Amino acid sequence: MASNTSVLSIVGGATFALLVTVSLVLAYTYLTTLFKYELDVRKHPDHGSKIQVAQHPPLVPYAIPGLGSTISFSNQNIGVFWRWLRTQAERYQQDAFSIMLSGTRTHFIFSEAGISAAFRSRQLSRARLDQQLGTNVLGMSKADSLKAFPYDIDEKEKSTTARIHSEHLLTPNAVNSLTSKFMEVFLQRLDSDRSLDKGVEIDLYDWLWQNIFRSSTTALCGAKLLEMHPDFDKDYQTWEDGMLGMLFGTPRLFASESYAARDSAVSKLEKWLEAGYASSTGNQEDLDWEPNFGAKVVRKRHAFYKQQGLSVHAQAGFDLIFLAGILSNATPATGWLLLHILSPTSDPKFHPTIMNELRSCQRPDGSVDISVLTRLPLLNSAFHEILRLYVDLLVVRQVDSSVAIGHHYVKQGEQVMAPSWMTHRNPAFFADPEVFDPERFLKRDEETGKLGYSATGLGGKYFPFGGGHYMCPGRTFAKQEVLGSVAVLLLNFDIEFVEFAKRDGKQPVGIDKDATGFPGLKKGYAGNQVVGIEGDMRVRIKRKNHIR
């Protein structure tokens, strides 16, 4: 009995000692980082002054060594972390901060000059993050991931993905061919839906998502993929929801559904690739589109995979992330734009003015002239306003060698991040930044007096497609797809607002501040690119013209 008591008191004593040690370590870490922070924010408080020597941005204090500020950064209520950082920036007059993220000092740069400098820098690259994406998010082996995303930035420039994209995704021919395939499939889907003749009530975004998912996937990857795997959308959606968690290294135990969806999506793509390779005649190289592998850009990427000696499993992962460019960005952007146009909470002039513009690009046979469509001033302005408001992009770069980015000194091995939320919603750059203002990017031409769309002078302030070497190569196609879908729907259907709908009976998070019921921002980690839509709009939709 006596010896049991002494064992217990030894264990109790050891636990107590451990608790005291942990508390001391946490307190010591917090106080030393706080002290340094308070010194640093006072040392260079005014970025307007002529600072000669580049300085490390002040490091936000934290308590847990190793983990740093990872927990507050991982807040999944979109915008909360950025609002907090903005408060700090205003309080201390700073245009950059560092935070410790899982052991890596990460610099958040949000000044116009700093962001432009980051995009120009040759010392910043993305290979390490891409490789992490390869292994964690796409299920590649480490060896495949190294081959898929080579380290050397010059190698990459010579290497084929950047060149393939500039030749087969960005040129007017490539964009027009992708757009016309997308429009063809989208129109066929709408045409064959007989419920639209008499009119039907739908949850607009759910309905739109399915139609765009199938049309975009077919335009990019061919018809065979969805013929073989009609349920690919389910894996894709679950994978998409868990993508950033996997990227940041959430263990499988805590995200089993996301990892299972990743494995299932990759396995379906693998089967599709194997079937395509088996039936390929080899003479489809120059077709703009063919049913097995889809668009030319996809086939050119496949030639690159082969040249790199990538396994079919890794090739499938590469295809998955390529699809994400369009499915996880262009689709919610279309959703947000339509929701704002049709919402009774929008300016009553907005919808009729957009309709007037759209009629001007409709040909006598009812089809849409894409080249006229993409020049419509208000539609263009509204599209860019959607990207300003709903893109939560983290431009992430690793520091390959120590360098000054503007007046910020960053060291080899650290990371730089440029958060779009901080500049897109900076009141110094955009008046009333939280408000959706479809006319924000309209400017009057002094000579002609005409209103036109303009985004000049916004470098470093507005960058929904990133910038520099890695700037989104799908940006022109994305715009045509979004505007094309909106035009087809609004010109050919009567769409009447019924009510705002709450998805699965859940209250949307981030519901707009006037509590009108307008859909809110879907929860997720920072760096989503176009933020998902939580909630929906119930509408009555009825075909008005025969679509061709």
Strand 415-419 to 104-109 pairing: parallel
Stretch that binds ligand HEM, among 29-37, 69-77, 471-479, 491-499 (CB under 6 A): 471-479
Distance in Å, CB of 169 to ligand HEM, minimum: 6
Please identify, using beta-carbon distances, which residue of 436 and 465 lies nearer to ligand HEM. 465
Q: Concatenated DSSP letters for 51-115? A: --S-BPPPBPP-SSTTTBTHHHHT--STTHHHHHHHHHHHHHT-SEEEEEETTEEEEEE-SHHHH
Q: Counting contacts by CB under 6 A, is residue 393 touching ligand HEM?
A: yes
Please identify, using beta-carbon distances, which residue of 511 and 530 lies nearer to ligand HEM. 530
Here the tokens at position 524 are 């997720």
Mark 160-179 with x for binding to ligand HEM (rule: CB under 6 A) and - for no binding.
--x--x--------------
Distance in Å, CB of 363 to ligand HEM, minimum: 25
Please identify, using beta-carbon distances, which residue of 68 and 460 lies nearer to ligand HEM. 460
Please identify, using beta-carbon distances, which residue of 209 and 477 lies nearer to ligand HEM. 477
| Residue type at position 392 | D
Q: Counting contacts by CB under 6 A, is residue 329 touching ligand HEM?
A: yes
Please identify, using beta-carbon distances, which residue of 212 and 393 lies nearer to ligand HEM. 393
Distance in Å, CB of 324 to ligand HEM, minimum: 8
Please identify, using beta-carbon distances, which residue of 164 and 202 lies nearer to ligand HEM. 164
| Residue type at position 37 | Y
Stretch that binds ligand HEM, among 285-293, 360-368, 458-466, 536-544 (CB under 6 A): 458-466
3-state secondary structure (DSSP) of residue 132:
helix
Q: Concatenated DSSP letters for 486-527? A: HHHHHHHEEEEEEEEE-GGGPPPTT--TT-----EEPP--S-
Please identify, using beta-carbon distances, which residue of 462 and 477 lies nearer to ligand HEM. 477
Stretch that binds ligand HEM, among 46-54, 75-83, 391-399, 490-498 (CB under 6 A): 391-399
Distance in Å, CB of 484 to ligand HEM, minimum: 12
Here the tokens at position 444 are 């009057």
Q: What are the C-alpha distances in Å from 44 to residues 38, 55, 58?
A: 11, 8, 9
**What secondary structure letter does DSSP report for 469?**
G
Please identify, using beta-carbon distances, which residue of 465 and 493 lies nearer to ligand HEM. 465
Q: What are the C-alpha distances in Å from 518 to residues 360, 397, 404, 450, 533?
A: 29, 35, 43, 33, 10
Here the tokens at position 235 are 């894996």
Please identify, using beta-carbon distances, which residue of 178 and 541 lies nearer to ligand HEM. 178
Distance in Å, CB of 233 to ligand HEM, minimum: 17
Buried residues in 219-233 as b, exposed as e (16+ CB within 10 A): bbbbbbbbeebeebb
Q: Counting contacts by CB under 6 A, is residue 477 touching ligand HEM?
A: yes
Q: Counting contacts by CB under 6 A, is residue 464 touching ligand HEM?
A: yes
**Dihedrals phi, psi of 530, to nearest 5 degrees:** -75, 120
Closest CA to 536 of 374, 323, 339: 339
Options 61, 114, 474, 519; binder of ligand HEM; rule CB under 6 A: 474
Which residues from 253-312 bind ligand HEM, rule CB under 6 A?
none
Is there a contact between 224 and 272 (Cβ–Cβ < 8 Å)? yes
Distance in Å, CB of 209 to ligand HEM, minimum: 15
Let me know if 58 is exposed, middle or buried by CB neighbors in 10 A (0-12, 13-18, 19+).
buried
Options 127, 185, 314, 326; binder of ligand HEM; rule CB under 6 A: 326
Options 73, 322, 421, 462; binder of ligand HEM; rule CB under 6 A: 322
Mark 112-151 with x for binding to ligand HEM (rule: CB under 6 A) and - for no binding.
----------------------------------------
Q: Counting contacts by CB under 6 A, is residue 96 touching ligand HEM?
A: no
Please identify, using beta-carbon distances, which residue of 145 and 329 lies nearer to ligand HEM. 329
Options 182, 232, 465, 493; binder of ligand HEM; rule CB under 6 A: 465
Q: Any known ligand binding at 472?
A: yes
Here the tokens at position 489 are 């729907």
Here the tokens at position 129 are 């993050």
Please identify, using beta-carbon distances, which residue of 156 and 543 lies nearer to ligand HEM. 156
Within 10 Å of residue 282's Cβ, how many Cβ atoms?
5
Distance in Å, CB of 354 to ligand HEM, minimum: 18
Stretch that binds ligand HEM, among 85-93, 245-253, 459-467, 499-507 (CB under 6 A): 459-467
Q: Counting contacts by CB under 6 A, is residue 222 touching ligand HEM?
A: no
Q: What are the C-alpha distances in Å from 447 to residues 443, 444, 451?
A: 12, 9, 11
Size of the site for ligand HEM (CB under 6 A): 25
User: CB under 8 Å to 254, separation ≥6 — which residues?
Assistant: none
Options 134, 139, 317, 466; binder of ligand HEM; rule CB under 6 A: 466
Q: 536 forms bridges with which residues in the sheet? A: 501
The radius of gyration computed from the CA coordinates of the chain, to the nearest angstrom, equals 25
Closest CA to 528 of 335, 384, 329: 329
Options 391, 410, 487, 501; binder of ligand HEM; rule CB under 6 A: 391
Please identify, using beta-carbon distances, which residue of 41 and 526 lies nearer to ligand HEM. 526
Q: Counting contacts by CB under 6 A, is residue 471 touching ligand HEM?
A: yes
Q: Counting contacts by CB under 6 A, is residue 395 touching ligand HEM?
A: yes
Options 114, 134, 245, 325; binder of ligand HEM; rule CB under 6 A: 325
Q: What are the C-alpha distances in Å from 384 to residues 342, 378, 439, 499?
A: 17, 10, 10, 26
Let me know if 129 is exposed, middle or buried by CB neighbors in 10 A (0-12, 13-18, 19+).
middle
Query: Binding site membership for heme: which residues?
Result: 472
State the binding site. 472
Kindly list the residues in this chain that would bind ligand HEM in the complex (CB under 6 A). 162, 165, 322, 325-326, 329-330, 333, 387, 391, 393, 395, 464-467, 470-474, 477-478, 529-530
